[in-house]
Amino acid sequence: MTRYIVWAVSWLFILLVLVTPPAMVLTEALKDGLAASVATLSDPDAQAAIWLTLKVTCVAVTLNTIFGILAAWVLVKFRFPGRQFLQVLVELPLSISPVVSGLVWLLLFGAQGWFGPLLEQWNIHIAFAVPGIILATLFVTLPYVVRTVMPVMEVQGRDAEEAAVLAGAGFWQILWHVTLPGVRGALLSGVLLTTARALGEFGAVSVVSGHIPGETETMPLHIENLYNGYQSVAAFTMAALLALMAMSAVLLRSAPDWIARLQEKKA
């Protein structure tokens, strides 16, 4: 009896927290019909927000994937002074509010910030511009690849890499041909988590972007702007599109497990 109660409560929680919100967003987006919803996406500001979000996400995911692989490899395979400090720095974005991180970027690169006047002399704009949005997104998405890859690298051990060193392999050969093939699944998981997080980032980006429509407005910021302007259909349509993009990344993360299970059943 207890088992069924726990099962029912679990499913009720999932329905309320995970299923109901996306369903309500989709319902609100389609309340005036599919044609009306699709038409809202043809707005120039909406298209600019979509493309900016995709560009920022691509840059953030690419750079954090490269950094995540190298950082995880260094943290797992080597012992050096400052290793624990580096690990704390990597996990720092998980413990700091995104709004606070956005304010830090403003403190550094804003017009009244530490480096703002110097950058202004060189006509370089970071705060209230696309580079600031990229920096803010990079910071909040930094830990995911590192945290997903590190446990798998720890399980791998160092035997294969030491054998490769004895065989005369170089740094990049070891990383590319020995280390990475064994962490491919974890790396894919980290990349997709980073993608989903970058797509939906609001707090830090809201602080550093300046909310300039068509220029520095990402999809989450555009949704807020539409909703505050009482354009509910357009807001929920954009929210539904953003949710679909983020959920697709999360579902792709589970695809390898589903394929493996199907292969096991066939075997």
- Per DSSP, the residues of 212-225 read -TTTT--HHHHHHH
Q: Is the pLDDT of residue 103 over 70?
A: yes
pLDDT, tens only, 230-260: 888 999 999 999 988 888 877 776 766 666 6
Q: Which pair of structure tokens corresponds to residue 177?
A: 């041909």
DSSP letter (8 states) at residue 18: I
Residue boundaries of the structural domains of the chain: 33-257
Q: Is the pLDDT of residue 156 over 80?
A: no
User: How much is the pLDDT for 266?
Assistant: 67
Pick 265 or 120 by higher pLDDT: 120
Q: Is the pLDDT of residue 203 over 80?
A: yes
Alpha-carbon span 62 to 51, nearest angstrom: 16
85 to 39, 63, 72, 80, 125: CA distances (angstroms): 51, 21, 14, 11, 31
Alpha-carbon span 256 to 14, nearest angstrom: 23
| Residue whose C-alpha is closest to residue 29's, from 46, 14, 17 | 46
Alpha-carbon span 46 to 234, nearest angstrom: 9
Alpha-carbon span 267 to 150, nearest angstrom: 31
pLDDT, tens only, 35-76: 888 888 889 999 999 999 999 999 999 999 999 998 988 888
CATH architecture of 33-257: Orthogonal Bundle (1.10)
Q: Is the pLDDT of residue 229 over 80?
A: yes
